[in-house]
Amino acid sequence: MSRPAAAPAADIVVAGGVVVTMDPSRRLIRDGAVAVAGNRIVAVGKRAEIESAHPGARVMGGPDKLVFPGLIDGHNHPIHFLSKGMIDDMRFPERWRNRVWPYEAGLSPEEARLAATGTFLEMIRRGTTCFADPGTFQPDAIAEAAAEIGIRGVVSRMTWDVHDPTAPAQYNDDTASALGRGEATIAKWHGAAGGRIRASFSLVRSAHVTEALVRRVKARADALGVMIHAHLATTRGEMEAALRDWGITPVERYRRFGVLGPNAHLVHMGFVSDEDIATLKAYDASVCHCPSASMFGGFGCVSHGKFPEMVAADVRVVLGTDACAVSRFLDMVRIMYLAACAHKDAKTDPTVIGAHKAMEMATIDAARALLWDRDIGSIEAGKCADIVVADTSGMEWQPNPFANPVANLIYSSDGGCVETVLIDGRPVLENGRFVTIDAKEVSQRAGATSNAILARMGVGLRTAWPCA
């Protein structure tokens, strides 16, 4: 049992048939428990020892539960909850120009906050305790929604300083203003809600940011100690345009701009060269893979990506859902399944990635990518208590739920097994019921608001088949 000598009495003890710690030795503790005092984990060990050391604590979980660290969604646009279904089976550029950009540009702060609330409820219900938003016009609405529900996350203000006449007017910012807005969001939200909310810079699309902006963002991010969240090398078209226009890959372009480093969080990254992989390792940059978005959106990150090669080269690869519009689900257990398995097929090699690497990607590696691994990403004494309790009594877990529980979670189950979620020591979901918010009221408002947005945009959600 690991417990500091002066550990305070726990308020809550979370017990499980197995506790998956994700600590440096990746210990799995049978008949384990986690003691939580305030927002921190104060002890991890055998249930009998933890309970006798903390006799006054409320006990959650039980012998048929799997306990694991809160899952971290390394890339999600929370405002997109209300755009679900809007870009099904559409080609891109049309889907951005005709649907995504007008949707984003037209959202009121109230609609953005409602959308983010829906996203966070869906996330928590499936075991996600932390998100990272790659940039929006509405960082205040997202941060306010996160603060209310109790989820942990990183918000940011979109930056964009290359004029694009096909985009709504509010996208087309200038360099100084874009930098200023990004920095204002960091000043307002980094460290808010008792430290549960942080903020980062955003380089939203590599084709829409100038060298001057990239260099200035990097300088300010380093000075402020914050992350830079950037979509990069998403599609074959982006790679081809970079080679045509600049004669180098998107990753090499960012390297020359000086932006690569441990605080660079580069998303999608389906089109990289072998030299780029060596560069990413040398600069200790993070890569965020969003397999469901790529598969739904046809990006090519699974069929053409080099994620097994990046993992083999010890590049830090983490996972994200991207957005409700282009993922359609926010279940990080399903995302882990795709990351664990899709590349086995693409490489015709069943040994690549797998469940245990996928679990690292969604927990401890993601915490490092978000510059937050001192506090989250594993169940260890001293860290924040972001803890998931999943039920293993369902038939999909049988016949041996705890023989290899990480593999069972990712290969056989999904996030529907999640019952209880603690974030920062606080139960936010308890036995399937939200504690901090009326989820039914949110879903009713989301339906009405989504319909109003669709009507405003002149977009109909239709079935492919006649529906009387």
Which residues of the chain form contacts with Zn ion (CB under 5 A)? 322
Shortest Å, Cβ 117 to Zn ion: 19
Which is nearer to Zn ion, 23 or 322 (by Cβ)? Answer: 322
Which residue, 39 or 294, has its beta carbon nearer to Zn ion?
A: 294
Minimum gap (Å) between residue 206 Cβ and Zn ion: 12
Give the residue closest to Zn ion by C-beta: 322
| Contact of 18 with 30, CB cutoff 8 Å | yes
Given the complex with Zn ion, which of 183 and 322 has the nearer CB atom? 322
* Shortest separation between residue 338's beta carbon and Zn ion, angstroms: 16
Q: How far is the CB of 135 from Zn ion (least distance, A)?
A: 9
- Minimum CB–partner distance for residue 26 and Zn ion (Å): 30
| Sequence-separated (6 or more) residues with CB below 8 Å from residue 180 | none
> Residue 332 to residues 128, 351, 437: CA-CA distances in angstroms?
7, 21, 22
Q: Which long-range contacts (CB under 8 A, 24 or more apart) does 212-216 make?
A: 212/161, 212/175, 213/159, 213/161, 213/175, 213/178, 213/179, 214/254, 214/257, 214/259, 215/257, 215/258, 215/259, 216/175, 216/179
**Token pair for 146:** 């996160």
Question: By the 8 A CB rule, do 377 and 366 touch?
Answer: yes
Min dist CB 182 to Zn ion, Å, is 17
**Quick one: tokens of 294?**
């790529």
- Smallest gap from Cβ 80 to Zn ion, in A, equals 9
Q: Rounded CA gap, 134 and 188, in Å?
A: 17
In angstroms, the CA 462 to CA 458 distance is 13
Residue number, 322 or 419, with CB nearest to Zn ion: 322
Q: How far is the CB of 322 from Zn ion (least distance, A)?
A: 5
Asked, as a colleague might, if the bond just before 250 is cis with ω within 30 of 0, I would say no
Main-chain phi, psi angles of 4, to 5 degrees:
-55, 150
Q: Which is nearer to Zn ion, 173 or 322 (CB)?
A: 322
| Rounded distance between C-alpha atoms, residue 394 and residue 162, angstroms | 52
Nearer to Zn ion, 327 or 412 (CB): 327
End-to-end CA distance of the chain: 62
Query: Of the two residues 168 and 394, which places its CB atom closer to Zn ion in the complex?
Result: 168
Q: In angstroms, rounded to a whole number, what is the distance separating the alpha carbons of residues 136 and 319? A: 20
The least CB distance from residue 75 to Zn ion, in Å, is 6
Please state the closest distance from residue 96 (CB atom) to Zn ion, in A.
11
Q: Which residues pair with 331 in a beta bridge?
A: none
Which residue lies nearer to Zn ion by CB, 161 or 322? 322
257/299 with CB nearer Zn ion: 299
Distance between CA atoms of residues 73 and 6, nearest Å? 34
Nearer residue to Zn ion within complex by CB, 307 or 434:
307
Residue 80 or 306 with smaller CB distance to Zn ion: 80
Between 68 and 120, name the residue whose CB sits nearer to Zn ion.
120
In the complex, the smallest distance separating the C-beta of residue 134 from Zn ion, rounded to whole angstroms, is 5
**Cβ 228 to Zn ion shortest distance, Å:** 14
